[in-house]
Structure formats: C-alpha cells, structure tokens
Structure 1
Amino acid sequence: MALGPRDPYHRRHPEPRSGPVNDPDFHPVATRDEVRPGVPLRIRLAGRRLLLVRTPDDRLHAVDEFCSHEEATLANGAVKDGCIACPLHGSRFDLATGRPLEAPATEPLRVYPVKVEGNQVLVCPEPIDA
C-alpha cells in the first residue's frame, strides 16, 4: 500500500517542537508535564524527528518518529509494556533498545539518551549505539 498525502500515516503532519541544532549535549525539549504517560510527543532535535514517550511506569524514552519498515509515523502508536506499536502494520518496538519485537519491521529504531532536570526533559541528539 503506497502512502499518499491523504493517508493518516503519511509524513505530512504539523511541525513538531524544536530544539537546538549541532550540539552533542543534552537539550531541553519539553517539560515533564507535557509528556503524558502512553501518549507520544513529537519533537524535532538537530534536524531529526523524534518521539518522546513516557511509559505508565514513569520512564522516559526518545526514539525515531518513523517506523523502520515503511516509515509510517509512530506518533499515533499504542504504548504498552515498554513498547510502541506501529499503527500501520503492527510492528512493535522496545522503547529502551529500539529493537523490533514483531514483524514486519526487522530494523531497530534509533534510541536517544534522555535525562530530567527538575521538570525539564532533555534529550541528546546523538543516538545510543545499539
């Protein structure tokens, strides 16, 4: 199935929040209150489109926004048991490692370091080596 501009999973979405560019350090991208449990928050950092995800057990993760299978956005994906599911074909990814746990995806998502200072959530634009 080809993705087109009217398809709800196509890359055409409102621009995500932005952070600074060209700095390998951590950058503030949201407040902790803005990241609701189980609801991915779209962010842009150093030209990358990422999702900030807070799991029900209060852990924060930053991963690529798009599925490694057909590049559908994961922004509307279900978050459960430390994983995010692609709403297009059902691939599930471990939020901590980026590894695909269910087909059809076979390639992992990139995972980015996250830390919290006070109420501020910071993300490093350099992915964690898998």
Structure 2
Amino acid sequence: MAVDNILGKESEIDYAAVPSVVYTTPEVATVGMTEKMAVDSGINIKIGKFPFMANGKALTHGEDKGFVKVIKDRSTNKLIGASIVGPNASDLIGVLTLAIKNNITEEQIKETIVAHPTTGEAIHEAVLSLEGGAIHFDS
C-alpha cells in the first residue's frame, strides 16, 4: 500500500475487509460488518450460524466450544460480515476476509468443495445454514 502510493499508484485500504482477532481461549475473530452495523445501515440481512459442537474435527480434538456466524446482504447474496469464536478462529477468518474483500456470493461458497474433516468445514456449514441447508446441524 505505502509503496504503491510512493510510486504514484493511488491505493486505499478497504477497512471492510480487515480482520480483528483476540487471542483468548477460545479465539475470537471478526471481519466486515456486525449484525448491528448492517441493520443500522438499512441493509436487509440474513444470518447463518454453525456451532463447533457439530464439527467432527473440533469434536475429535475436544475443541467443540464456539461457532461460525456469517452475515449476508439479502439483496446481493454477498457476505458482508462474519465472526468466529472457537478453535483456529485466527486462521479461519482469512477465508471469510477473502470472501468479503472479493464480493463472493453465498452461492459461490456453497459450490466450493472443502476438505473433510477440518474445522474449516464450519465456515461452509454456516453459509449453508443461511437457507437452512447445513449438513451436520439442523439450524
């Protein structure tokens, strides 16, 4: 960013896609808009949530506390915010940061094949739950 600006290429940080992490146990990570921010901005949203207690890898490792929460804009089907509380939240938030930064839609994430068993599946499941389609949890 700084080098681009020095070289005369105007560039700005997209603060909507800067993750925040708290290194507690469990870890907490967020990116994009919160539910309150979106509602206060007049955005018609839908929330998807998936608990780690329904994730095979988290259960196997005894790290089943927490969840993945995603927020989509109903008018565009794009993810606009997310939060993760649980195992590897600091690592997992990067996937959601990429999705928000690049305007990835709910459908594009649904169509993505994810490795199994991984805690990353919880992201996929949270997105699937936006329309009641989570595989390993009845939302």
Question: Given the two structures, how large is their TM-score scaled by the length of structure 2?
Answer: 0.31
**Which structure would you say has the larger RCO, counting Cα contacts within 8 Å and 6 or more residues apart?**
2
Higher percent of residues as helix: 2
Question: Given the two structures, how large is their TM-score scaled by the length of structure 1?
Answer: 0.32
Higher percent of residues as strand: 1
